Amino acid sequence: MSSTESTAWKDLQSHAYYMSQSHISTLFLQDSDRFQHLTFEQKDLLLDLSKQRITSETISLLIKLAEEKQLSEWITKLFKGDHVNDSEDRPALHTALRSPAHYSLDLSGTNIIDEVHDNLERMEQLVTRIHSGQWRGYTGHSIDTVVNIGVGGSDLGPFMACKALSENTPDIARKIKVHFVSSMDGSQMADLLDELNPARTLFIISSKSFTTIDTLANAQTAKEWLKKSSYAGSEETLVSRHFIGVSANPDKVVEWGIPKSNQLEFWDWTGGRYSMWSTIGLPIALKLGMAGFKDLLAGAHEMDEHFKTAPLDVNLPVLLAMTGIWNINFQNINAHAILPYDGRLSHIPAYLEQLEMESNGKSVDRQGNGVNYKTCPILWGEVGTNAQHAFYQLLHQGTEAVMCDFIVAARRYHDTDNSELQHQHQLNLANCLAQSRILALGDSVLEGAEDAPAYKRYKGNQPCTTIMLDELTPFSFGQLIALYEHKVFVQSVIWNINPFDQWGVELGKKVATSLLSAFDTNNETPNFDSSTDGLINRIAAKGEAK
């Protein structure tokens, strides 16, 4: 039976018609304790749903839908290692990556928690060696710069975390500069290599398959750059001094030239976009130290346990996900803005774009049938104070309905006597609360607004969620990212789609590979389609092809 034919779905459709007549500002007038009724907490994180166009009845009906879709059973399957990634016939066990050492989880006769912690210990040894200055380049000088080469999940998660948590860098890690390279066109690499000392630079090549053309192209450029330096020894020695490989395909890493002693592994049950908790997180550990990295894992594990055990009606990932279901499938809202009011979280919109749209951007269900309902919306975002000067005009007065997530830390600069910075944080908080208030309530918050001309009016009624961290720390950041991971899984259950594959990105890679030969001027005239042929001919005419 299709999701749209279920009793709970039909009840929600009836309720949605009734709620479509309501304005969020009216809902506040009807319930003076609305904040208390629609706010939920878990350790260092608060989830405020009071500015959503929902009531307690809405939540009850949404939980009924989750129960009809057997969400609790799916959560159990996820954590115990069932093959929830059915198209690739494997489990999705990113939660195991942050499980404490005393946990156990049997997978094909192996306690994978032991393997996870063996790899963490191996990673800690490498981190200690680099931080202590004992990893030395080809001249014998210690490494002072690390460049992570990866793309997608091998880049976005570590890049985001390093930026978000840079204020938590311990003294021993401050002497190590960490850079990230992902673009296939070589622009990032070219800019970076001009500034680096080859004798003191270490490259981390991060790729689950170790066949990703973007990553390998950048890695080869890095290798050739090192070979063209003043080094006169063998390539084997050069690679062993200046490259670490992180992959689920160790044979490919060896084939590229990186010895086993310079490798960290993870497993095929770790999805790329869920891999920052694994040894893919090596740059994070280098930035935060292993203690900070373990705090990050502990925060994510805290949210895992909450997701696994809390009743659905007080379960934060469930409530965040089901509110999204309400907006997408019953309020016809297909745009989602991610608005962090914290410059340290500047990369979280890009990370969530991949996490949500690559996971749930699907139109075929688990049985291979096309769906007849909306799935993942378009996500985008920006640091809130910058976004106010960019696209908030559309949010406030445009024609698109948009759901908004405001993400902010309640406390910052409290441990400094710099009153100017403390004032800036208060200014930031005021903007965050003001913008979510106006988006939801409209200009009803102002006296006399009804007398303003139409072009100055603010209609409001844009549903807003506020996620407030007590303070941005590795622990609370781990909670936050795990919250969104589990939200994605919940929505996939409701939509009956697989969130752990990404077949939609594969064909483009294959076609790109087939097009490469067309840039060889010795080949015959291309024969693809008139547009592609015309563009290839234009490139050849301008002398760009070889």
Task: Look at residues 2, 37, 46, 62 and name the one whose alpha carbon lies nearest to residue 328.
Answer: 62
Strands 201-206 and 145-149: parallel
Nearest to 211 by CA among 151, 128, 148, 127: 151
Is 358 one of the annotated active-site residues of the chain? Answer: yes
**Amino acid letter at 77?**
K
Of 389, 510, 542, 546, the catalytic one is 389
Closest to 155 in 3D by CA, of 208, 116, 191, 217? 208
Find the angle CA(509)-CA(511)-CA(517) to the nearest 5 degrees. Answer: 110
Distances (CA, A) of 175 to 146, 420, 529: 11, 28, 53
Element (H, E) at 410: strand 403-411
Catalytic residue among 353, 358, 382, 485: 358
DSSP 142-201: BP-EEEEE--GGGTHHHHHHHHHTGGG--GGGTTSEEEEE--TTSHHHHHHHTT--GGGE
Count of Cβ atoms closer than 10 Å to residue 4 Cβ:
12
Q: What are phi and psi of 413, to 5 degrees?
A: 65, 15
For 75-99, give the DSSP string: HHHHHHT---BTTTTB---GGGGGS
Burial degree of 281 (CB within 10 A; 0-12, 13-18, 19+): buried
Rg, C-alpha atoms of the chain: 25
Task: Give the closest residue to 19 by CA, choosing from 63, 48, 53, 61.
Answer: 53
Helix, strand, coil shares of the chain, percent, nearest 5, are 55, 15, 35
Kindly compute the dihedral angle of the four CA atoms of residues 50, 56, 58, 59, in this order, to the nearest 10 degrees. Answer: 90
> Which stretches within 310-418 are classed as H helix?
316-325, 348-352, 359-360, 384-387, 392-397
Residue with tokens 């080809």: 138
For residue 352, give both structure tokens.
Answer: 């969530």
Q: Among this protein's residues, is 260 annotated catalytic?
A: no
Outline where DSSP puts E strands in 419-475.
464-471
Element containing residue 519 per DSSP (H, E) = none
Question: CA 491, CA 317: separation in Å to the nearest integer?
Answer: 10
- Is 456 catalytic? The answer is no
Q: 370 in helix, strand or coil? A: strand
Per the CB < 8 A criterion, the answer to whether 63 and 313 are in contact is yes
Side by side, which strands form the sheet with 201-206? 177-181, 145-149, 201-206, 243-247, 263-265
Residue 460 in tokens: 């409001």
Q: Are 183 and 190 in contact (CB under 8 A)?
A: no
Handedness of CA 478, 479, 481, 486 (dihedral sign): positive
Residue positions annotated with a catalytic role: 358, 389, 509
